[in-house]
Amino acid sequence: MKLKDLLKGIDIVEIKGNENLEITGIQTDSRKAIAGSAFIALKGVQVDGHQYINNALDLGAKVVIHQEKVDTSREGITYIKVKDSADAAGKIATLWYGDPSAKLKLVGVTGTNGKTTTATLLYEMFRKFGNKVGLLSTVANYIDGTVYHATHTTPDPLSLNEMLAKMVDAGCEYAFMEVSSHAIHQKRISGLKFDGGIFTNITQDHLDYHKTMAEYLKAKKMFFDNLPETAFALTNADDKNGAVMLQNTKAKKYTYSVKTLADFKAKIIEKHFDGTAVEFNNKELQVQFVGVFNVYNLLAVYGTAVLLGQDPDEALLILSTLKPVSGRFETLRSPENYTAIVDYAHTPDALTNVLEAIHEVLEGNGRVITVVGCGGNRDKTKRPIMAREAVRLSDQVILTSDNPRFEEPQAIINDMADGLNSQQMKKTLLIVEREQAIKTACTLAKEGDVILIAGKGHEDYQDVKGVKHHFDDREVVRNIFGE
Ligand SMILES: CC(=O)N[C@H]1[C@@H](OP(=O)(O)OP(=O)(O)OC[C@H]2O[C@@H](n3ccc(=O)[nH]c3=O)[C@H](O)[C@@H]2O)O[C@H](CO)[C@@H](O)[C@@H]1O[C@H](C)C(=O)N[C@@H](C)C(=O)N[C@H](CCC(=O)O)C(=O)O
Ligand SMILES: Nc1ncnc2c1ncn2[C@@H]1O[C@H](COP(=O)(O)OP(=O)(O)OP(=O)(O)O)[C@@H](O)[C@H]1O
Ligand SMILES: N[C@H](CCC[C@H](N)C(=O)O)C(=O)O
Ligand SMILES: [Mg+2]
């Protein structure tokens, strides 16, 4: 592909050299540069890609796209200075892969919690409508039924557009993807053509990265600010920032709600352990999901289906057949008749919601034992809050490890316990080994009790000092249950 054809829509400051040459590839990682390729230098979080320009050139790259002032003296090299190399990387990636998002009906889901659930259920629903569909999610990526390993919630722009192009090649008509705040902030989604955007909610998380809630909110809002007028923007009217998200969008605005008037409105009729009876826009249905938060997710799915032109009644029929996503409120029953629930709640709000959902169906019959930890090298301020919420809504809490990464596991647990007073500590155990923590919870549980094992959900590893050791909460539970 010709270099100049890749530069459409990019804010160029200066070009030095030939822009009329054939490119063999594009990279943002110097280590992957090949003969004749273009290297885009990104200002990273850890390091600055501009440092590696010569490494890329040594491997044969012929073009450098940069944002900072750099040495442009190497012979035969084209240097393109741009205003924003992250934005350029996104846009160049879309063009390199043939602008796949323009050939798909692409819908992005953003928010602190519920992205994986909503995007995955949309993928499943649209397949049930009979379409070929793609999905990019935390748990896994899918192209019309074929699974691909996911490393991020939202991949880097090159991997992202490569996946979208594969979806186009496979004949997919729709694609649903999670849009993380990191991805918006790092412009991994620049150049993508969305047909719709969904906002789930915003509560505390990722303050290690965004520093303040205001910055976190700004990142999420940017996704909606950049939607085109041809797209729809569907927001949660019950979230206090739901309307804020759509303040400056050009997209057509729609709302969903359980509490107020909205385009898509739900009423909860009855809650039980294997599902919820609800009314969506005055039509009754039974869904196989527990928790009010899941009613919101399902409502967003329903609204999206309708906004994409599907028949509302058929959408409701399919909704009632959908099943929970891997590692989200996954229920396992012990031979002694207590229940273990594995859930991906890793934020204060998610933990509160999932515990409230458990209480709503338990109705005071049976105790709640919660096993929970917090990730290392992530938002430290959520640790004491999560511990307090766990204690407030449980009869017994075991604080344990969840991906300590490069931190000391005991130090993370101590940060959590710092949120508890001596009274609260009385119902709290600290057990560093997660397997031991789960075993202890099972020893303590009696018939009718519920053990919530929170934070890891679908994850099948424990990330310790950069090494992912195999660990799966569900597997541990099944072993204890003798399955
Ligand atoms: C904090 C963060 O988001 N980091 C992401 C970021 O990396 P970075 O900016 O730190 O990159 P860097 O290491 O500083 O390098 C900067 C540039 O120099 C280049 N480089 C580097 C070394 C070299 O020798 N040569 C070279 O060219 C790199 O390729 C890069 O282009 O850009 C990388 C490429 O896109 C991501 O892989 C990386 O994700 C890291 C691994 C990560 O853990 N990210 C998490 C926090 C994340 O993104 N999570 C969200 C979901 C969160 C949620 O909603 O729960 C997600 O979307 O997955
Ligand atoms: N709409 C919601 N509101 C609040 N909490 C939710 C909602 N949906 C799910 N949760 C809780 O959050 C957890 C994570 O859900 P999910 O994986 O769908 O979120 P996510 O936004 O994809 O998370 P991540 O940012 O890690 O990708 C669930 O296990 C559940 O405890
Ligand atoms: N996408 C989230 C996942 C957190 C899951 C939890 N198990 C942890 O490791 O903190 C993050 O990277 O912050
Ligand atoms: Mg997710």
Q: What pLDDT, in 10s, does the model give residues 206-247?
A: 999 999 999 999 999 999 999 999 999 999 999 999 999 999
Whose alpha carbon is nearest atom 13 of ligand 3?
378
Q: Which of the ligands is closest to the CA of residue 150?
A: 1
Q: d(Cα 192, Cα 210) in Å, to the nearest integer?
A: 23
Q: Is 249 annotated as a binding residue?
A: no
Q: Name residue, tokens 């192009």.
A: 165
Q: d(Cα 163, Cα 106) in Å, to the nearest integer?
A: 13
CA-based nearest residue to 452, from 326, 323, 353: 353
For residue 456, report the distance from its CA to the centre of ligand 3, in Å. 8
pLDDT tens across 394-423, in order?
999 999 999 999 999 999 999 999 999 999
pLDDT tens across 38-71, in order?
999 999 999 999 999 999 999 999 999 999 999 9
Q: d(Cα 290, Cα 277) in Å, to the nearest integer?
A: 10
Q: What is the pLDDT of residue 136?
A: 98
Lining ligand 2 with CB less than 6 A are: 111, 113-117, 138, 153, 178, 200-201, 293, 296-297, 328, 343-345, 349-350, 353-354, 457
**8 A C-beta contact, residue 310 and residue 129:** yes
Q: What is the mean pLDDT of the chain?
A: 97
Provide the residue type at 36 as one letter: G
Phi and psi angles of residue 149, each rounded to the nearest 5 degrees, phi first: -60, 140
Confidence bin at 273 (pLDDT 50/70/90) = confident
Domains and CATH numbers, the chain: 3-96 (3.40.1390.10), 98-321 (3.40.1190.10), 330-481 (3.90.190.20)
> To the nearest whole percent, how much of the chain has pLDDT over 70?
100
Give the containing element (helix H, strand E) for 14. strand 12-16
pLDDT tens across 287-313, in order?
999 999 999 999 999 999 999 999 999
For residue 113, report the distance from its CA to the centre of ligand 4, in Å. 7
The pTM of this model reads: 0.96
Helix (H, G, I), strand (E, B) or coil at 352: helix
**8 A C-beta contact, residue 66 and residue 50:** yes
What atom in ligand 3 is closest to the CA of residue 457?
Answer: 7
Q: What is the pLDDT of residue 363?
A: 86
- Position 483 pLDDT exceeds 90: no
**CA 53 from chain center: how many Å?**
32
Helix (H, G, I), strand (E, B) or coil at 252: strand
Q: Is 115 annotated as a binding residue?
A: yes
Q: d(Cα 430, Cα 418) in Å, to the nearest integer?
A: 12
Assign 3-class secondary structure to 281-345: CCEEEEECCCCHHHHHHHHHHHHHHHHCCCCHHHHHHHHCCCCCCCCCCEEEECCCCCEEEEECC
pLDDT tens across 431-470, in order?
999 999 999 999 999 999 999 999 999 999 999 999 999 9
Q: Which residues contact 309 (CB under 8 A, 6 or more apart)?
A: none
- Position 30 pLDDT exceeds 90: yes
Global ipTM:
0.96
For residue 48, report the distance from its CA to the centre of ligand 1, in Å. 11
